[in-house]
Amino acid sequence: MRSEIKIPLNNKFDLNFSSWKDNSQNIVKTFDDRVVNSIYFDTPDFNLARDNLSGISNRKKYRIRWYNQDSENIFYEIKSKKNNLGSKIIINADRHKADLKDIFSYRNKLLHDKNKKHFLEYINYFDLEPKIQVSYIRSYYEFKNIVRITYDRKINYKLINKFNVKNLNSNDYMNVIEIKFDPKNYLIASELIKKSKFIPKRFSKYLRGLYFSGNAVYF
């Protein structure tokens, strides 16, 4: 598992990130920018969102993800979180077609493949349905080849209803820096954040998407 620390940043202060990154030693770009697209799944009663809002330390998120315009090359992801430690289980859908409502269920024939059926063991709910589509531009960096840094901006939310994206389309006024590292490198990451003078804070794209669509209270 890895530690994850999030730092929200009002997009009016985007230059603050650029200035910090450019003036810091040992921060290097590791990958070209790309658009990240995710669809988050939840139970009909939003149990997973409630767990997150309640601050339950041991929780999961279910989503599918694709990059740029390659919407046929989709990854299924289950993200587990325990306090500040997180891990992900990922499988490639290999251009497999499945109804959104069936992705995290026994009805998805892909999950019966012998190399992928282990994925079913990590699904706590089998009535998951798509709720929010989130898209954003992500930039990738590393500090001393030890700490990963991503910067997400131009975050956009689309409400999904009855498995079709509605016209509701909201842009977030916040960007987010994510610092990711092995727990054994906590002191290195902590010093990096301290010198940045940025303030870590909880930030959930899924919950903010629900908030912008009027389906959750989020601060």
Which pLDDT tens digit goes with each residue over 191-203? Answer: 999 999 899 999 9
Least confident window among 5-19, 50-64, 141-155, 181-195 = 50-64
Per-residue pLDDT at 94? 78
38-87: pLDDT as tens digits: 999 999 999 999 988 887 778 899 999 999 988 889 999 999 988 778 89
Is pLDDT at 219 greater than 50 in this prediction? no
Domain ranges (residues) in the chain: 2-212
Long-range contact pairs involving 205-208 (C-beta distance under 8 Å, separation at least 24) = 205/38, 205/40, 205/134, 205/136, 205/152, 205/155, 205/157, 205/176, 206/40, 206/49, 206/52, 206/61, 206/63, 206/131, 206/132, 206/134, 207/49, 207/52, 207/53, 208/155, 208/157, 208/172, 208/174
Per-residue pLDDT at 183? 95
Q: Which CATH superfamily is domain 2-212 in?
A: VTC, catalytic tunnel domain (3.20.100.30)
